[in-house]
């Protein structure tokens, strides 16, 4: 087995999930993630953890949903009982076809998702971590050869996380102390308030309240955006490719939008509810192991020299105790490159210019 798969498993178990002897662990294995599951089982055995493996196959989900009439049992207790008694759930993504559920009616998928709300909450109450094993399907989605995609994934995952966590702490403190953020770039000039908000140092470990491997972003919950922003990183939203999404804000609300491809998807998202026209997240990508977008949010939003904004729901971790953030049924990330000609300011001070932070070599004040 490729040594990198074993290193991935060790990073997942030790750095990300902080598994200890006697921990009750669930691994949820996508149908292309067998090799990572085997490597993870080995490490879990070495650590003396307990293990049960779930089979997370989109083809099984599709068949089940195609057969079902849509009147799903709310909260099947036997499944919730598993998670409520578990310490960690490790989601090993990496399927064989990203379009495996493309022909399931949307309302049935939504009904299934609603019925599983309590199960999801029980999962999220554990020390859960989400990662992916490189598969040919994901390589194809990224437009890459399989060996090149494997290298891409391991460059992103096998970081010096301690060092990156230290660097991200610098930015977190700037954001925690700051009041107003400005992003300037091509067809982009946007200001937002971050007054009294707390940034999360998302260092790919439950010890940092971070549940993605890879991670490598600092994010907070902004308010009162004003101005316009163009998202030049291509993405797939609700199964459709979108490009060059442009949002215009006045008094904290989207007042105009456009896109060069599939503009209607953006319209649908913004029309979901009142909160969908407001911002829920400002995230700054800082993982220099991720050098290109691959049409996967797990990687794209952590890419160095990018900033992402999400319309919709805000994360509680960023809000003062007792304060409710923006609420919405959606949370849709959109990403912009912070390359030549761009800058990121906090309270009028330039923190990043042309993609370089002020603590990096080559930063131009």
Torsion (CA) 14, 211, 235, 263 in degrees, nearest 10: 180
Residue 52 vs 329, nearer CB to a second copy: 52
Taking the complex as a whole, the smallest distance from the CB of residue 58 to a second copy amounts, in Å, to 10
Taking the complex as a whole, the smallest distance from the CB of residue 75 to a second copy amounts, in Å, to 10
Task: Tell which residue, 83, 85, 100, 102, has the closest CA to residue 28.
Answer: 83
- DSSP letter for 129, please: E
Residue 115 vs 317, nearer CB to a second copy: 115
Binding residues for a second copy, rule: CB under 8 A, are 22, 24, 26, 29, 31, 34, 37-39, 41-48, 50-57, 59-61, 63-69, 71, 73, 76-79, 81-86
305: left (phi over 0), alpha (psi -120 to 50) or beta: left
Q: What share of the chain is helix, strand, coil (3-state, %, to 5)?
A: 35, 30, 35
Residues 6+ apart with CB under 8 A from 203: 161, 164, 165, 168, 210, 215, 216
Taking the complex as a whole, the smallest distance from the CB of residue 119 to a second copy amounts, in Å, to 9
Residue 84 vs 295, nearer CB to a second copy: 84
Residue 67 vs 320, nearer CB to a second copy: 67
Residue 61 vs 224, nearer CB to a second copy: 61
Taking the complex as a whole, the smallest distance from the CB of residue 25 to a second copy amounts, in Å, to 9
Taking the complex as a whole, the smallest distance from the CB of residue 65 to a second copy amounts, in Å, to 6
Residue 36 vs 309, nearer CB to a second copy: 36
Taking the complex as a whole, the smallest distance from the CB of residue 64 to a second copy amounts, in Å, to 4
Chain position carrying tokens 């009439």: 69
Cis peptide preceding 214, ω within 30 of 0:
yes
Sign of CA dihedral 107, 281, 328, 113: positive
Max alpha carbon distance in the chain (Å)?
A: 61
Taking the complex as a whole, the smallest distance from the CB of residue 135 to a second copy amounts, in Å, to 15
Residue 66 vs 179, nearer CB to a second copy: 66
Counting DSSP H helices and E strands in the chain, the numbers are 11, 19
């Amino acid at each position: 087995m490729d040594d990198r798969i074993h290193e991935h498993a060790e990073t997942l178990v030790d750095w990300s999930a902080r598994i200890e002897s006697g921990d009750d662990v669930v691994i949820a294995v996508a149908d292309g993630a067998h090799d990572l599951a085997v490597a993870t089982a080995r490490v879990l055995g070495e650590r003396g953890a307990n293990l049960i493996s779930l089979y997370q196959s989109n083809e099984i989900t599709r068949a089940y949903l195609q057969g079902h009439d849509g009147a799903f049992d709310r909260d099947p207790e036997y499944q919730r009982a598993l998670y409520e008694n578990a310490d960690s759930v490790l989601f090993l993504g990496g399927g064989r076809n990203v379009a495996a559920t493309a022909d399931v009616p949307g309302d049935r998928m939504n009904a299934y998702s609603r019925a599983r709300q309590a199960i999801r909450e029980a999962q999220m109450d554990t020390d859960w971590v989400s990662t992916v094993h490189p598969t040919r399907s994901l390589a194809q989605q990224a437009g890459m050869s399989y060996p090149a995609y494997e290298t891409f994934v391991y460059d992103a995952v096998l970081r010096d996380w301690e060092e990156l966590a230290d660097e991200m702490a610098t930015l977190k403190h700037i954001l925690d102390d700051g009041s107003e953020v400005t992003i300037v770039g091509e067809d982009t000039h946007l200001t937002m308030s971050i007054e009294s908000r707390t940034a999360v140092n998302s260092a790919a470990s439950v010890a940092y309240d971070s549940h993605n491997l890879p991670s490598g972003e600092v994010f907070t919950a902004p308010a009162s955006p004003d101005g316009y922003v163009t998202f030049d990183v291509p993405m797939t939203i609700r199964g459709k490719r979108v490009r060059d999404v442009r949002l215009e804000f006045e008094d904290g609300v989207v007042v105009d939008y456009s896109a060069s491809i599939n503009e209607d998807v953006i319209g649908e998202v913004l029309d979901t509810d009142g909160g969908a026209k407001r911002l829920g997240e400002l995230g700054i990508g800082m993982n220099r192991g991720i050098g290109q977008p691959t049409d996967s949010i797990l990687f794209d939003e952590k890419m160095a020299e990018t900033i992402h904004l999400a319309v919709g729901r805000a994360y509680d971790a960023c809000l003062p105790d007792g304060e409710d953030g923006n609420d919405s049924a959606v949370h849709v990330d959109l990403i912009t490159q912070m390359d030549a000609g761009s800058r990121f300011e906090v309270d009028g001070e330039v923190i990043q210019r042309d993609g370089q932070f002020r603590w990096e070599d080559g930063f131009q004040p």
